[in-house]
Amino acid sequence: MRNNYIFKMKDLARFSGEQTDSGSLNQSSQVSAQVRLITISDEECDQRIDNFLLRICKGVPKSHIYRVLRSGEVRVNKGRIDQTYRLKEGDVVRIPPIRVAEKAEQSVPGAEFKILLEDAHLLVIDKPAGVAVHGGSGISYGVIEQLRASRPEAKFLELVHRLDRETSGILLLAKKRSALTNLHEQIREGELDKRYLTLVRGDWQNARQHIKLPLFKYNTPDGERRVRVQADGMASHTVFNLIRRYGDFALLEAELKTGRTHQIRVHLASSGFAIAGDDKYGDFALNRTLQKADGKRIALKRMFLHAYQITFRHPDSGKPVTLKAPLPPECEQFLKSLERPAS
């Protein structure tokens, strides 16, 4: 497999060297000699031209995409547009001749996951813990790349939302752009209801508790993304319901009222209730203890956070849909090992 990089025609020599005497290009590059004309379908409309180009030109640096846009070489219906232009059904997009510099690409192994719902508009899976939803930050590929590799016939497949790599549970993907747009609108309007199950250590008191703490995203010196409570952060709201106590632990249901990065993890940690197994915001001494079995209690080798339920309106029919994913076996077995025998 090879990965294509697109450059402006006037940058040919700088990016790829000169042609040989015979007019052919060296082995590391080639020219796409024709202008591409793409007619926008109903599934591709309503997106910005820059996002459209980034999607169809996989792997191309953003700087090159925006350079071509600024130059006016990309036209819509024969006219110049800027990067904020939103495509309409029937628009004809002109993409200029391109220099293609070839680069070896790591192949992505196709994979399938437990399917909770699939139709012409949606794919909903139960993601296992330890699997990233997409590549990046040192990860070559994730769920979305693996699903695309296993479904080469799929014309459109995009993540509706994300889950942390360490979190298991329900993950929505759209098979049509109209479905993606519809579900994103439901998320913006607060109509999509996501619930998680999590285990914390501590004396949790309230049957139902609201936590509203502003969250601020930042990067550590080594480039790792983190979140902390900070006064000028994004407004964030989680509701926690007590499900059951297990000795020093409490099983909670978390309702997301906003969808910030690491929201549940940081809200709990900042309130003094570390999620069992959380290696970013948790109690590290507790995590080390839990990784080893102790008497009746078995070892816990993952973060205990699972997206177990989601409710939304189907993007095509408008009918309400509620899906559930039971706790993974390792979490169920850990809870059972915490149960105290009846006296």
Beta-bridged to residue 208, according to DSSP, are 241
Cα 260 to Cα 284: distance, rounded to the nearest angstrom? 23
Question: Any catalytic annotation for residue 11?
Answer: no
Cα 231 to Cα 84: distance, rounded to the nearest angstrom? 32
Cα 157 to Cα 151: distance, rounded to the nearest angstrom? 9
Task: Compute CA distances 87 → 44, 158, 177, 288, whole Å.
Answer: 8, 18, 12, 52
Edge-to-edge order in the sheet of strand 98-104: 2-7, 98-104, 29-32
Residue from 256, 241, 163, 229 nearest 205 by CA: 241
Residue from 47, 320, 326, 310 nearest 172 by CA: 310
Active site residue: 164, 193, 248, 283, which one?
164
**Cα-to-chain-centroid distance, residue 303:** 18
| DSSP H or E segment with residue 48 | none
Q: How far apart are the first and last CA of the chain?
A: 64
Number of H helices, E strands in the chain: 8, 19
SS3 43: coil
| Burial status of residue 290 (CB atoms within 10 A of its CB: 0-12, 13-18, 19 or more) | buried
The C-alpha torsion from 211 through 333 and 141 to 196, rounded to 10°, is -20
CB 122 within 8 A of CB 179: yes
CB 6 within 8 A of CB 15: no
- CB-based contacts of 335, cutoff 8 Å, min separation 6: 199, 246, 251, 327
Catalytic residue ranges: 164
